[in-house]
Amino acid sequence: MTVTTSTIDDLIKNQNPFAGHIVVRPQQIWGKSFPDVPSINAHASNAVFDAVEKVRRGKRETIGITITAEKGLGKSHIISRIRHGLHTENSSLFIYMSKYDNLNQIKYLFLQSVASSLRAFGSQKVMQWQEIAAALINEAKQWNYTPQQYINMYPGWLSKHSTKGIVHLTESVLKVKPEITNPYIVKAILWTLSPVHINYASYWLSGLELAQSQAEEMGLPNPKSEDREVEALSNIRQILDITSNYRVPVICFDELDIADAADNGFLAAQVIANLVKDLYNSLKQGVLLLAMYPRTWEDQIKALPEAEAVVDRLASEQADRQPIALKYLNSDNIVALVSQWLQDFYEEHQQTPPHSLYPFDEIKLRELGKSRPTVRSVLKWCAENFLPNESIIDESTNSTTSNTNTTIAWTSTTIHPVKPYFNSELANVEASIDSLMEEEATITDALLLAFNNLIGKTVEGLTIESIEEVEPSAANNGFMDFKIIGNKKKVRIGVDVVQQDYNVIGAALKRLIDYRTFNLTRGCLVRSKKINLTATQARENLKILLKQKGGEWVGLQSQDIKPLLAILFVYYNRESYELTEEQIFEFIEQKQIAINNPLIREILSDPSGQEPTNLTDDGLPISIPQSVATADCVELNL
């Protein structure tokens, strides 16, 4: 019997599972990741799993592990494996940080990463915050209900008891946990079980300010902005101490090999190393995991003041106090890796290939192993060589023979080298757009990349001449993001992306209406949320901007910013993707990503003088993950 491979070859022509998938993104740490072969660099992931077990059994309190590897060798793949491995258990919490936008406020940024990480689903298919909240109540009241049971009954229970119920539960927890010094953190964690209040509670736990009316309703004091760093460190310790009563916190710092420096001169890896040292000394229990290049370890970590004390904590499990080094791939690794990727691909499309490595040749794959390649280089080779074999399979002899009589037409079409990476990043953006909508700095960078691509072009009647920083910088204090200069400098638009509320939006609008100081002809606010009516100063400044100054409020819509974010992430990772700036700019222009983007055109168009429509109501657009449906409901007797 003879079976042609034409169906599979047609699939291969139209879809390439390797294209654009050579860099693990943070979204894949949390969600669906790349196919993984657990045997590859198992010594590194097993070291973390063993450390978690030691802490869980009480053999150690805190363990520090550092993984080193050259670019593309698979550090983030290992972290993804660790996260997904821990997710199946019920004994740990995973906290992940990979962005270091302001190294001068690293503790505040870390608090936000802690709060964001604990929003992720744990092993019980609810948020990790909610798992901790249920554990607190069960211990205090000697009950044994699941988080989902509490979530189901909270709305009816709150309508009956109002906020007094939360106060009572908070007091009950504090009686059995006298070591907790901040009762408001306990109260906020308990609020996470309420579907109506989860966004507000996690927002407050991340160190951000609630509307005064919302803060009063929930009995939570708003943070003092001037003490943000001090408060952040205190809150981090308290949160981690509370969570460690029930789960082992595994705290991971990734993407440390960047050139950004704090005002004190320390680079990102050094700032984080000092933070980890403090955490190691102060945590009740936990596993601290760092990933970096070998050169970063040698040139930056070992160059720190009191480097020996830092190294002892960052590599506490290694006898020689050295990081765990990842290994290059060998021939067996490559065959296993490619086979796993192809297995997932064919299963997804319900196809049965002639052999597990089709359309690749095992001999060629094994040849690659002789050069000790990285994971990234192997995946890149696969992407470039994923082409159909024009052959047939003779099942009677179980052999593959060349099809000389009937050839399958293969027309090679020119695909822009940026396209597969753009498509991959766009899928990642789609999966995490709710959290990305909160990242003002990232949105600003996406807009800057787009506008820089438009210099010299005329859009909406404005010929863009330059994109400039906002001066004087001291008066701006980092609030306004950039200025668009056009039409022979007759038009000067100050642009500010503001997703935060109250003090921040008020201060931003104050600068957007100060045309004289900042030499503007128009102020432009970019924002997706309504401004609360109780923010009186911000509302007054907004009225001046729209009605008196001829400024504009452009509504930030997720569908408009998605392609700009996707191409920004391609730009961020251009070295890993082996792309040039010229190729990326060419792709932006070819696909008209910037010039035809509704958000870009709205910023440049004549102001309407009106507040935009389709704004979110609560100022907190992060979607609540859907809980598992269950009929179980409990009645709490207070």
pLDDT per residue as tens digits for the range 260-290: 999 999 999 999 999 999 999 999 999 999 9
179 neighbors 238 (Cβ within 8 angstroms): no
Q: How far apart are CA 71 and CA 252, in angstroms?
A: 18
pLDDT in tens, 165-188: 899 999 999 999 999 999 999 999
pLDDT in tens, 100-118: 988 999 999 999 999 999 9
pLDDT value at residue 592: 96
105 neighbors 97 (Cβ within 8 angstroms): no
E strand or H helix at 274, and its extent? Answer: helix 268-282
Q: Which residue has the higher pLDDT, 270 or 10?
A: 270
Q: What are phi and psi of 489, to 5 degrees?
A: 65, 15
Residues of the chain with CATH 3.40.50: 23-91+248-327
Q: How far apart are CA 333 and CA 328, in angstroms?
A: 9
pTM: 0.82
- The confidence band for 390, taking pLDDT boundaries of 50, 70 and 90, is low
Q: At which residue do the structure tokens 């800057």 appear?
A: 448
Burial 226-265 (b: 16+ CB within 10 A, else e): eebbebbbbbbbbbbbbbbebbbbbbbbbbbbeeeebeee
pLDDT in tens, 422-438: 998 998 888 888 878 98
Q: Which residue has the higher pLDDT, 433 or 410?
A: 433
Residues 233-257, mean pLDDT to the nearest whole number:
94
pLDDT value at residue 312: 94
3-state secondary structure of 536: helix
3-state secondary structure of 349: coil
Q: How far apart are CA 240 and CA 166, in angstroms?
A: 21
3-state secondary structure of 419: helix
Six token digits for residue 60: 């150690």
- The confidence band for 401, taking pLDDT boundaries of 50, 70 and 90, is very low
Q: How many CB atoms lie within 10 A of CB 205?
A: 25
pLDDT in tens, 331-364: 999 999 999 999 999 999 999 999 999 999 999 9
3-state secondary structure of 444: helix
Using only C-alpha atoms, what is the Rg of the chain? 27
Percent of all residues in the chain with a pLDDT value above 70, rounded to a whole number = 91
pLDDT value at residue 406: 28
Q: How far apart are CA 444 and CA 526, in angstroms?
A: 10
Q: How many CB atoms lie within 10 A of CB 181?
A: 11
Out of 15-29, 389-403, 478-492, which region has the weakest mean confidence (pLDDT)?
Answer: 389-403
Q: How far apart are CA 262 and CA 99, in angstroms?
A: 14
Amino acid at 203: Y
E strand or H helix at 449, and its extent? Answer: helix 440-453
- CB-facing half-sphere around the CA of 330: CA atoms within 13 A: 5
Q: What are phi and psi of 358, to 5 degrees?
A: -60, 130
CA distances (Å), origin 269, targets 274, 360, 442: 9, 40, 21
Q: What is the largest CA-CA distance in the chain?
A: 85
Q: How many CB atoms lie within 10 A of CB 612?
A: 18
Burial 407-435 (b: 16+ CB within 10 A, else e): ebeeeeeeeeebebbbebbbebbebbbeb
End-to-end CA, the chain:
74
Residue (of 123, 163, 165) closest to 147 by Cα position = 123
Six token digits for residue 445: 């960078």
Q: What single-letter DSSP state applies at residue 97? A: E
Is the pLDDT at 308 greater than 90? The verdict is yes
pLDDT in tens, 193-241: 999 899 889 989 998 888 788 889 999 998 776 678 888 989 999 999 9
- The confidence band for 1, taking pLDDT boundaries of 50, 70 and 90, is very low
- DSSP code string of 584-604: HHHHHHHTTTTTT-HHHHHHH
E strand or H helix at 526, and its extent? Answer: strand 522-527
pLDDT value at residue 630: 36
Q: How far apart are CA 261 and CA 181, in angstroms?
A: 34
Is the pLDDT at 252 greater than 90? The verdict is yes
At residue 380's C-alpha, the angle toward residues 17 and 297, to 5°, is 120
pLDDT value at residue 620: 43
Give CA 603 to chain center in angstroms: 27
Residue (of 133, 23, 67) closest to 287 by Cα position = 67
271 neighbors 262 (Cβ within 8 angstroms): yes
Is the pLDDT at 321 greater than 80? The verdict is yes
Give CA 319 to chain center in angstroms: 34
Instruction: For domain 23-91+248-327, give the CATH number.
Output: 3.40.50
